[in-house]
Amino acid sequence: MLDALKKLRQHLLTGVSFAIPFIACGGIMIAAAIAFAPMTASGPDFSHSPVLKLILDIGSTAFTLLLPVLAGYIAYSIAGKPGLVPGFVGGYLSGEVKAGFLGALLAGLLAGYVVQLLKKIPVSKYIRSIMPILIIPIVSASVVGVVMLRVLGVPMADLMTFLAAWLKTRGTGNAVVLGLNRGAMIAFDMGGPVNKAAFFFGAAMIKEGNYTVMGACAAAICTPPLGLGLATLINRQLWNEEEREAGIAGLAMGMIGITEGAIPFGRRPRMGTSAD
């Protein structure tokens, strides 16, 4: 049971690791376009800013590809290359039916395990050669497509809508608690599975039109590397040369939202103990 859970976590983290660059690219480009566009009562106006509109469109495209990539590489982690087609199809359909990242996670898992089952079916040697390039993609994509469009899609979309609506109705006190919770999860393992779970929840809420959750996540993401990087600059004598270099890297990584910049300091011996 424990081994199965570890494998499941690894499959999910594989998909997440491939999807995060799309979030970073899309988020930064969209934010930059909105930041420099003239603001009106109804929001940013791109009618007289074709370059900013171009940047916005490219960033939006990166965000659109997020769900197919997430589901595709979860399936790839489970079943190898034959899992890519049903995974990408399931992730795309998750976006189409508004099932969000939760739908993409389920689509990726479903695609991977369906392909695994198909690969175990005994077939003639004449058919075996075309199984991974023709039969498995068609059959698995059909199964995943039917499940996403007719079974899981609507319930998952309703769940995402509920989460978005619930977050919008929370008062200030609840928002503070939520922010503390997301921040603690982000900083807990500095890029590990707990961090990724909080990060993807925030990203999912962006797609649902709620930016508050990701705001808390973004603030927490940069705090450990920036804090430790500043510490190595403010009181340099407390740190050895290797740690001071890691501090500079941590500052750079913290400024672009990479929590892993704090990892080199995680194994530092406590004050008053010997490093030998």
- What are 20-69's pLDDT values in tens digits? 788 778 877 887 888 888 877 666 788 888 999 999 899 889 988 988 99
pLDDT score of 10 more than 80:
yes
Alpha-carbon 266 to chain mean position: 23
pLDDT at 268: 55
Residue 9: both structure tokens together: 């976590």
| Burial class of residue 131 in the structure, from the number of CB atoms within 10 Å of its CB (0-12 exposed, 13-18 middle, 19+ buried) | middle
pLDDT at 136: 94
Task: Report the DSSP beta bridge partners of residue 39.
Answer: 44
- Percent of the chain clearing pLDDT 90 (strictly above): 28
Q: Are 261 and 187 in contact (CB under 8 A)?
A: no
pLDDT score of 17 more than 50:
yes
- H-helix or E-strand containing 40? strand 39-40
User: How far, in Å, are 50, 236, 248, 252 from residue 32 at the CA level?
Assistant: 14, 35, 25, 19
Mean pLDDT across 111-127? 92
Q: To which residue do tokens 């900083």 refer?
A: 187
Please provide the average confidence, as pLDDT, over all residues in the chain. 82
Helix (H, G, I), strand (E, B) or coil at 97: coil
pLDDT score of 276 more than 90:
no
Q: Give the least confident one: 42-56, 113-127, 188-202, 219-233.
A: 188-202
Which residues are CB-neighbours of 111 under 8 A, at least 6 positions away? 71, 72, 74, 75, 78, 79, 83, 86, 87, 89, 90, 140, 144
pLDDT at 211: 67
Higher pLDDT, 40 or 209: 40
What b/e sequence results for 31-43 when a residue is b if at least 16 CB atoms lie within 10 Å of its CB, and e otherwise? eebbeebeeeeee
46 phi and psi, to 5 degrees?
-105, 10
pLDDT at 255: 83
pLDDT score of 140 more than 80:
yes
User: How far, in Å, are 20, 108, 157, 159 from residue 111 at the CA level?
Assistant: 20, 5, 19, 21
pLDDT at 168: 59
